[in-house]
Structure 1
Amino acid sequence: MATWKDLQLHLQTGKTVEQAERTLLEAEKRRWGDVLTHLISITQSLAERNLAFRGSSNTLHQQNNGNFLKEVELLAKFDRVMKQHIERVESGQFSHSSYLGNIIQNELVASISGKLMDTVATEIKQSKYYSVILDCTPDVSHQEQMSVIIRTVKMDKAPEIKEHFMGFLVTSETTGLGLSSLILKKLMELNIPFDDCRGQSYDNGANMKGRNKGVQARLLEKNPRALYVPCGAHSLNLVVSDAATASTDATSYFGNV
């Protein structure tokens, strides 16, 4: 009877072992939530400034451990949450990830990127009509990639022209068929209807502007309202390049004379 009465009292006052464990669990959840909030803020800060995350070392308080861990160390000097987290990491209290390694860094970047892309896609669909701007270039590893930009007019208090960079697409083949299929697949993944496209713009390459098998021709077959406009920046580059070549040739010729 005494044990039963004792349990009844603890249940009424919320002092059972289960309640105590639940309180500790909730406190631990809040702590990890605070840690992740800080790490996400660091990730956003580095990404906005296009700074590299990692160095040659993945250990705290090392000379070349990269910008991410250096930001964590700096924040720990003034912030209680990060200071306690680093103390627990260094004391070896974790039997699992401390959320400071390169894997979690990549996951944070991917999560933020996915959320941002969803927000941009929603804004594009709200504007309804859009144009696509494409360009292909190899990266340092000689892998051909296509940059995708979507241009919209946001109808707010005053119309605002906006351009959204949607990322790089790795291209396995640079034919008109391959590139057009790639961009259509990307729009489908973003749930952006290609029927609402009203313009397409890219360089003067045959695989892009070709009237029969180029990207513009294949996209026009899908949507006759997606009118093609040559990229002004590329045309200007060609003019400047030709002018510079002509100037060099003329200088060489008259110099010889």
Structure 2
Amino acid sequence: MSGVETSNQGTGWNDHDTPYGTIHSYDGDNSSGGTGGNAGNGHDGIGDSTKIDIPTTKEYNGVLMSMCVNNLKKHEGFKNKMYKDTGGNITVGVGHLLATAEMAAALPFKKTATINQGHGNAEDVDKSVSAGDIKAAFNKYAADSSAIPNIHLTNDAVISECIKDVQITETGLRSLYTGYDAFSNDRKVALVDMGFNIGIPKLKSNFPNFNAAVNRGDWPTAAAESHRTGLDDSRNPRNKDTHDQLLSDK
């Protein structure tokens, strides 16, 4: 996505209140009349360096959820529009897989429309997209990778889906590790990343030594057994981050 991704300081960066807490993101240089997007209802401005802060609710601890979401964002990216991952799968948001057109249509995609206000003034507004149009866009993109759908999710919607994905992953992790809820936050972040990235079924079947080490609290062995093949370690520190997080009791 476009936007400032190399720094989160300076002109144009501001704190924005959203349903998930304050997000520090880029919304343009307001002092010179720029509008840009905002971190909540907009659909740009969240880059690699943006920190997403999520408050605690009755359903989850905000500190841990923020850590998980930011860790996934670091490794998966944050994209408001559909894209195809390295395996050619249609994805959106923070690595959220859209396996079918129906899954895409279940999300609140928007389309930007320009409203002419007269006297040379115009305003861009987001309008909802029908389920039929979302499915059509998905199917066209599935058949033609150059036909990237011109529809998007707001930043709030992306964060909301990521929170749901973390919760689903944690449910699966609790079925694998009886002591999961007592683990340190860093270790939970590492496990969420592995469960999300490769899926709970593959984590269960393909990492028996890792799982056994986690269940007996042998974190050095778990860290050594956590390495995932297929990741480009020279470009993505995902394996290293997971290794280090598993060794942390914070």
User: What TM-score range do you get, normalising by the shorter chain?
Assistant: under 0.3
More helix by share: 1
Pair member with larger Rg: 1
Please report the TM-score for the alignment, with normalisation by the length of structure 1: 0.21
Please report the TM-score for the alignment, with normalisation by the length of structure 2: 0.22
